[in-house]
Structure 1
Amino acid sequence: MKKLLNQVERVELEMLQGIAKAHPQYLKKLPDYNVLVRAQPKTDKVALVSGGGSGHEPAHGGFVGTGMLDAAVAGAVFTSPTPDQVEAAIREVATPAGVLLVVKNYTGDIMNFEMAAEMAEMDGIKCMTVVTNDDVAVQDSLYTTGRRGVAGTIFVHKIAGAKAEQGASLEEVQAVAQKVVDNVRTMGAALSPCTVPAAGKPGFEIGEDEMEVGIGIHGEPGTHKEKIMSANDITDHLLGKILADIDYTGHEVAVLVNGAGATPLMELYIINNRVADVLAEKGIKVYKTLVGNYMTSLEMAGFSISLLRLDDELRALLDAPADTPAYKA
């Protein structure tokens, strides 16, 4: 294993310090917590707090800024942040309008964010939650009961963040976040595993001529292993599962082709070329496309495809201004 780090136990801390030093105009790190918050807080709107395990960069700290998140909480690599970290984030950014927690559907994340919200509410901070569960690959996994929350969460950050920035109520921001959850689906595949620094060895084994279909963002198993396919064939397989889950016919969609960390942009654009062609053949109009690393899995080679079914409200919020280190509109 080769990794550029100092001490394993300081990986998350030094990463967050590095992000804050790289983007001081956007965010700052709380002194005693692994939490990034907006450098210039806005106190007249609903605050958005999200987070999860480290190792998914630029998620989640890269999306702190105007029009998206007000705070991002970073747990240890692939590990849920603790309730005290989440509570610190809530208290730091809470406004009279309330706080929306965007939580991916992993058992530890849900439990710890709920505990933090309960502690904050005891002091009069109004909190609501939305849980993302966009992965169509598996119904249950090592980390979840029900579908996993994966890269489609980025659309929730963007659209709910835009709604909050416009001055909507907490109930309205929660409602539009839930609308995104109801209309976004994702599936991914991996060509290689990743290595958690503290473990020192790959999280799973895969043959040189194999791929894992339906992989999760923590390297947890998908639906099956099989021989590596062409880019078009694996794209067709993933899209087929997504399109079978929601009827996108006659709708405009937003597309996210998300890299898992070690996949070249060249390959992601080859994937997107096929995605666009398949959707066009099916009469599904692509309104906006995002290609790149948005929610990664350390150095895993692989990708996921997310489709968001749009209506007039979601389209306008997707286009609304955003200015963060990792996302600008």
Structure 2
Amino acid sequence: MKKFINNPENVLPDALRGLAAAHPELRVDLEQKIITRAGKPAAGKVGLVSGGGSGHEPLHGGFVGVGMLDAACPGEVFTSPVPDQILAATVAADNGTGVVHVVKNYTGDVMNFQLAAELAAAEGIVVETVLVDDDVAVQDSTWTAGRRGTGATVFVEKIAGALAEGGAGVAEVAELGRRVNAASRSFAVALTSCTTPAAGRPGFDLPDDEMEIGVGIHGEPGRRREKLASANEVVATALDAILSDHPLAPADRTIVMVNGLGGTPLIELYLLFGEVASTLDGKGITIARSLVGNYVTSLDMAGVSITICQADEQMLTLWDAPVRTPALRW
């Protein structure tokens, strides 16, 4: 294993110290392991909180800031944050008008966020939960009951975050988040495994001439393994899975993200986006907004995920609203 680390046991606190040094607009609590916006929330603003295992950077701490999250709670690598940690983030984000939890559908995350929501309710904080389960690759996996939560998390955090920034109520923000999730689908393909600092070796063996079709963001197995294919074949496989599950019609407008899993060069991601754009254009489907880059990663995995959201006018307007976070800003 070759990694720029000091001690495998201290990767998360060391990284959080670096995040704090790089972004003074954030407040990083190293003891509670939560990341919040510096300063108090705006009066009457609904809080937005998310979190999960580390190793998916910039998700979630990189999306804390104006227009997105109020707080994030990073667990250890590929490990859910604990309930007390989530509660601390919830309390920090609460401004008396409620908090929305954005939770990826992984068993540990679901259980711990649910317990934290119950603890918050006992303290008088209203909590609504948006469960993200956009991955169409497999119905159940090693880590989940039901579909995994992946790239649509970014869409939910951005669009619901913009609505919260505008002063909407907790139920309205949560309902929009659920609607964005319902309109989104994702599919991922991996060319290599990833190596966690604690393990010091790849999480699974993948021969040089094979790829994992439908991989999860923790390296969970997908639908099948196949021989390495060309970019247009990979995109065809992913889009077939996405559009078979959530058909789109000509003239539909979409938000499309081609996301690197940590070890894929940007030149390849743009090449893949070109294939996606060409295919959707051939079907009369409009890409109204797009993201290309590393947004939901899996440490050093070479791979790509494609996320498509069938966006209505409200979603597009809120997508365009100002955002200022370490990883997303306009």
Contact 1:41/1:70 (CA < 8 Å) preserved in 2?
Answer: no
Q: What is the CA–CA distance in structure 2 between the aligned matches of 1:256 and 1:197, rounded to whole Å?
A: 28
Aligned to 2:51: 51
Contact 1:64/1:70 (CA < 8 Å) preserved in 2?
Answer: yes
Q: What is the CA–CA distance in structure 1 between the aligned matches of 2:193 and 2:30, rounded to whole Å?
A: 34
Aligned to 1:18: 18
Contact 1:52/1:79 (CA < 8 Å) preserved in 2?
Answer: yes
Shift of the alpha carbon at 1:200?
A: 1.2
What pairs with 1:80-229 in structure 2 (closer than 5 Å)?
A: 80-229=80-229
Q: What is the CA–CA distance in structure 2 between the aligned matches of 1:41 and 1:267, rounded to whole Å?
A: 41
Q: What is the CA–CA distance in structure 2 between the aligned matches of 1:186 and 1:40, rounded to whole Å?
A: 35
Unaligned stretches of 5+ residues in structure 2: none
CA deviations over 1:94-147 (Å, ceiling 9, x no partner): 111100000000010000001011111101011110000000000000000000
What pairs with 1:206-285 in structure 2 (closer than 5 Å)?
A: 206-249=206-249, 250-285=251-286
Aligned to 2:319: 318
Q: What is the CA–CA distance in structure 2 between the aligned matches of 1:175 and 1:251, rounded to whole Å?
A: 22
Aligned to 1:35: 34
Shift of the alpha carbon at 1:31?
A: 4.1
Shift of the alpha carbon at 1:43?
A: 3.5
CA deviations over 1:188-236 (Å, ceiling 9, x no partner): 0000001111111111110010000000000110111110000010001
Contact 2:138/2:223 (CA < 8 Å) preserved in 1?
Answer: yes
CA deviations over 1:22-67 (Å, ceiling 9, x no partner): 0112x11124111100013323200000010000001110000000
Shift of the alpha carbon at 1:8?
A: 1.4
Q: What is the CA–CA distance in structure 2 between the aligned matches of 1:102 and 1:7, rounded to whole Å?
A: 31
Q: Which moved more, 1:246-255 or 1:215-224?
A: 246-255
Unaligned stretches of 5+ residues in structure 1: none
Aligned to 1:62: 62
What is the aligned-residue RMSD (CA, Å)? 0.8
Taking every aligned residue pair, what percent have the same amino acid on both sides? Answer: 52
| Counterpart AA for 2:302 | A
Aligned to 1:71: 71
Q: Which moved more, 1:88-97 or 1:263-272?
A: 88-97
Shift of the alpha carbon at 1:247?
A: 2.1
Length-normalised TM-score, structure 2:
0.98
| Counterpart AA for 1:285 | T
Contact 2:13/2:30 (CA < 8 Å) preserved in 1?
Answer: no
Q: What is the CA–CA distance in structure 1 between the aligned matches of 2:105 and 2:209, rounded to whole Å?
A: 31
Length-normalised TM-score, structure 1:
0.99
Contact 1:134/1:184 (CA < 8 Å) preserved in 2?
Answer: yes
| Counterpart AA for 1:210 | E
Aligned to 1:327: 328
**Paired residues, what number?**
328
What pairs with 1:267-306 in structure 2 (closer than 5 Å)?
A: 267-306=268-307
Contact 2:16/2:30 (CA < 8 Å) preserved in 1?
Answer: no
Partner secondary structure for residue 316 of structure 1: helix
| Counterpart AA for 2:108 | G
Structure 1 runs of 4+ aligned residues shifted over 2 Å read none
Shift of the alpha carbon at 1:246?
A: 1.0
Q: What is the CA–CA distance in structure 2 between the aligned matches of 1:51 and 1:312, rounded to whole Å?
A: 28
